[in-house]
Chain A
Amino acid sequence: MDSAIANTQVDHDTAEHEHVVLPQHRHHFATEEQQREAGSFGMWLFLLTEIMFFGGLFFAYLLYRNWYYDAFVAASNQLSVPLGAANTAILISSGFFMALAVWASEVRKKAMLVVFLILTILFGVAFLGIKAVEYHEKYEKHHIPGASFDASQFINPSAYGLNEKPLPPDMAQKTQMFFFLYFAMTGMHALHMVIGLGLLFWLLARAQKGDFTSGYVAPIENFGLYWHFVDIVWLFLFPLLYLINRHPLAH
């Protein structure tokens, strides 16, 4: 019975062979379909490794947030929720245009594909721009961990005009741990964005030559998976870092 199945499988394969016309079809795959499935499966596996990679950071966050909860709340309150929320919206828009780009590639509309890729890039760059503004603000407030880090505003918030609960000095020092993790996590996320933007420029150049609008969608589709993954990481980072305890203090 098994060999019967095997035979029909072969017939099926040879039938498919007749319409293998893409120049991108690689000889070691029996069919185009097999090539596309293998590529997308490989991408999903790669994203799994990325989850494990970020997982280490999330684990460290979980541990220290439990240990130094008050410091994490105070430090988190120093992040700008409007900027973070704006960035969330911008990144989701970028992801939306990437999804449209995949669609444009599938329906073989070159001009639309190019426009959507450009929009994806623009929103991606805007995200990094806002992130840079936020990083700069941290620098001005001496919130960058290291020799110039200053925890005094968490010890004596009223002196800085802040409506915060004062922290004992040793707990206030632990705000530095929050900022370690803030920079490590958003920095690692931003690095993924930069790599993604580099790939986007490469895809854009190839899209203009019409590489992805003749039935060969795989690179656009797989990059789309990567880009959405980077979005999703941010969707976890935003609440964990910005929204730890956002209700105003009771007075």
Chain B
Amino acid sequence: MSAPSPTILKLPDQSTATLPKKNFINAEHGLLSWLLTGDHKRIAILYLISITFFFFIGGAFAGLIRLELLTPQGDLVSSDTYNKLFTMHGIIMVFLFLVPSVPATLGNFLIPMMIGARDLAFPKINLLSWYLYIAAGTLMLTAMALGGVDTGWTFTTPLSTHYLNTHVLTTAVAVFIAGFSSIFTGLNFIVTIHRMRCPGMTWFRMPLFVWAHYAASILMVLGTPVLAITLVLVALERVFGIGVFDPSKGGDPLLFQHLFWFYSHPAVYIMILPGMAVISEVVSTFSRKRVFGYTAVAFSSVAIALFGFFVWEHHMFIMGVSNYSALVFSLLTMLVAVPSAIKIFNWCFTLQQGSITFETPMLYAFGFMGLFTIGGLTGVFLGSLGMDIQLTETYFIVAHFHFVMVGGMLMAFLSGIHFWWPKMTGRMYPESLSKLAAVVTFIGFNLTFMPQFILGYLGMPRRYHAYPQEFQVLNVLSTAGATVLGVGYLLPVLYLAWSLKYGAIAGDNPWQATGLEWQTQSPPLTENFTEIPIMDHEAYDYEWLEHKTQHEVTHVG
């Protein structure tokens, strides 16, 4: 056996270590104490369980899609059923997994702790947001059980208003409610970050995790209501025949597209910014360096949020919009690549000459940086007008957004879950098994989605359940990759559950990280800190941490 790889992990002596006697998990007992809690950490755990549930339901639909596409003929399911499969996959993954994934779990758990607050500003609204999420999820499951919906996740009119007899209304109501859940999360974060920072915690001492969540919250608060009114108009059109999107009554279906994408493009930044939030923390901790260009990374989050509102029309280049506006939106789209690139470059410079170690969260973070870069750059392809007309509505676009959403966001989510797992539960996950899972996920992901770039480039359209014989080899590769990917996602569920009972005791700060959340016990107390901390140093100040640790040792000695 080779020597174990170097690690920064420092665990307390396992023969004497115990979990803290009092913490937020055992502060109160019984199901009701969880269901009626106001504690942001408990609500984060509730969210974590629920989004994992919906992730696997959405994942099961993806599995069926890939199984159908194993052969060129439409043999496993009928084309109608196939339409329902990709619709339900998209709706569940977008609205019930990706949008709440990092903010509602890690963000909820960590933002108050990172800024030295006892809770979010509005604990009851936080709980309400979880109940709205559950109501939306239940409605969605009901719609599925009653026969599903087949509009595509985009609810495109007039298809959704005139031509389908599936459960469009139920699903639209579910998405409307899920939207309010997201609005309340964003609103809570913004108020908390503005008003609840501890003494000394200036804006430019906040961890970049908080900055990125702040930017994502602005998008949630400003974008989601537009989706809400759009869905209301779709519902009114279905129920009362109001014709705002109906050409036969003078309405314009393109207006629907404008309103829908005005939310749904910023929504992809709602999904990715919290992922970037995680990566900043992880890259800094496992390189033992302050994030390079802290201010630039902080402002790039805000820039992404700002530019994100002015690019929506790039989803509509082939839909008959004016050539001049298409030109402007194409240029604006490329502009968004700039702040994203600022982040990637700054993380690379953070790594440069850092003391890099390769624990699981860092492996996932490397996965994120590579895959997000590919996803982002292919986004620039699609943002250029000529390429877009060739590639849109093909598998190229499917591959592009899965690289960003799955390769980017899901990798970041798993990175964050592993990184803060010891803080959330007080116990370590098994390191070698989790490294295996990270590698399996990476390989499975590339095998699934890399062939789809080629398929799309060769002209295979998305959303069809049958395809010409010549595309089969690449589709088989993709389906094989999906199987590997499925294993990669199941592994963490199993070993993280195992670690709840058998994992090593983590101690307060196993990663030697600098955030305020690490300077308190794991799992934390209900009120987070015994006394409100005073922030007297910059973020990511490893010298401060070293000094503090030395001081503690001499103090005890």
* Residues of chain A at the chain B interface (Cβ within 8 Å): 2-3, 5-7, 9-10, 13, 26-30, 34, 37-38, 41-42, 45-46, 48-50, 52-57, 59-60, 63-64, 67-68, 145-147, 173-174, 176-177, 180-181, 183-184, 188
Contacts and interface: CB of A to CB of B under 8 A. Distances in A.
B200 A5 contact: yes
Given A2-B536, A48-B222, A55-B229, 15 more contacts: A3-B200, A28-B527, A42-B122, A45-B191, A49-B187, A49-B222, A56-B229, A56-B233, A60-B244, A145-B240, A146-B240, A146-B241, A177-B243, A177-B249, A184-B233
Given A53-B225, A56-B230, A184-B236, A46 B121 contact: no
B120 to A, nearest CB: 8
A42 B242 contact: no
Contacts of A173: 249-250
A184 B242 contact: yes
Interface stretch (B81-89, B135-143, B251-259): B251-259
A60 B119 CA distance: 40
B534 A42 contact: no
22 contacts: A3-B536, A10-B199, A29-B196, A38-B192, A41-B191, A42-B188, A45-B191, A49-B187, A52-B222, A52-B223, A52-B226, A53-B225, A53-B229, A55-B226, A56-B226, A56-B229, A63-B255, A146-B241, A174-B250, A180-B243, A181-B244, A188-B232
Nearest to A179: B242
Contact of B229 (A3, A46, A54): A54
Interface residues of B, number: 48
A52 B222 CA distance: 6
Given A41-B194, A59-B259, A184-B244, A50 B229 contact: no
Contacts of A67: 250
Contact of B221 (A49, A174, A180): A49
A28 B117 CA distance: 7
A57 B229 contact: yes
A53 B228 contact: yes
B123 interface: yes
B534 A49 contact: no
Given A6-B199, A49-B222, A177-B249, A30 B532 contact: yes
Contacts of B258: 59
Contacts of A184: 233, 236, 242, 244
B191 A38 contact: yes
B126 to A, nearest CB: 11
B243 A6 contact: no
Query: Which of B187, B244, B252 has the most C-beta atoms of chain A within 10 angstroms of its own C-beta?
Result: B244
B195 A37 contact: yes
Residue among A9, A177, A183 facing the most chain B CB atoms (10 A cut-off): A177
Interface string B171-210: 0000000000001000110111011100110100000000
A55 B258 CA distance: 13
Contact of A145 (B228, B229, B243): B243
B225 A3 contact: no
B121 A38 contact: yes
Contacts of A176: 243, 249-250
Interface residue SS majority, chain A: helix
Given A37-B195, A145-B243, A45 B190 contact: yes
A189 B230 CA distance: 16
A45 B187 contact: yes
Nearest to A26: B123
Contacts of A37: 195
Contacts of B337: none
B289 interface: no
A32 to B, nearest CB: 13
B535 interface: yes
B191 A49 contact: no
B255 A60 contact: yes
A11 B534 CA distance: 12
Interface string B506-550: 000000000000000000000100001011100000000000000
A180 B242 contact: yes
A64 B199 contact: no
Contact of A6 (B228, B242, B534): B534
A207 to B, nearest CB: 21
B437 to A, nearest CB: 36
In the complex, the 9 A-B pairs of residues with the closest C-beta atoms, listed nearest first: A56-B229, A6-B200, A28-B118, A53-B225, A28-B119, A52-B225, A6-B199, A9-B199, A38-B121
A173 B248 CA distance: 10
B224 interface: yes
A123 to B, nearest CB: 27
B191 A177 contact: no
Contact of A42 (B191, B532, B535): B191
B187 A177 contact: no
B251 to A, nearest CB: 7
Contacts of B188: 42
Contacts of A6: 199-200, 534-536
A42 B244 contact: no
Nearest to A58: B229
A74 B226 CA distance: 29
Contact of B187 (A42, A52, A174, A188): A42
B231 to A, nearest CB: 10
Contacts of A177: 243-244, 249-251
A48 B221 contact: yes
A42 B183 CA distance: 11
B118 A27 contact: yes
A247 B486 CA distance: 69
A49 B123 contact: no
Nearest to B125: A42
Contacts of A38: 121-122, 191-192, 195-196
B194 A64 contact: no
Contacts of A2: 200, 202, 536
Contacts of B118: 27-28
A154 B263 CA distance: 37
A3 B226 CA distance: 43
Nearest to A176: B249
Contacts of A146: 240-241
Contacts of A26: 123
Contacts of B230: 56
A9 B187 CA distance: 26
A232 to B, nearest CB: 16
B225 A42 contact: no
A7 B183 CA distance: 35
A145 B196 contact: no
Contact of A3 (B236, B252, B534): B534
Nearest to B224: A49
Nearest to A53: B225
A145 B241 CA distance: 8
Contacts of A46: 187
Contacts of A45: 187, 190-191, 221
A28 B123 contact: yes
A190 B429 CA distance: 54
Nearest to B534: A6
A171 B17 CA distance: 80
Interface in B89-142: 117-119, 121-123, 125
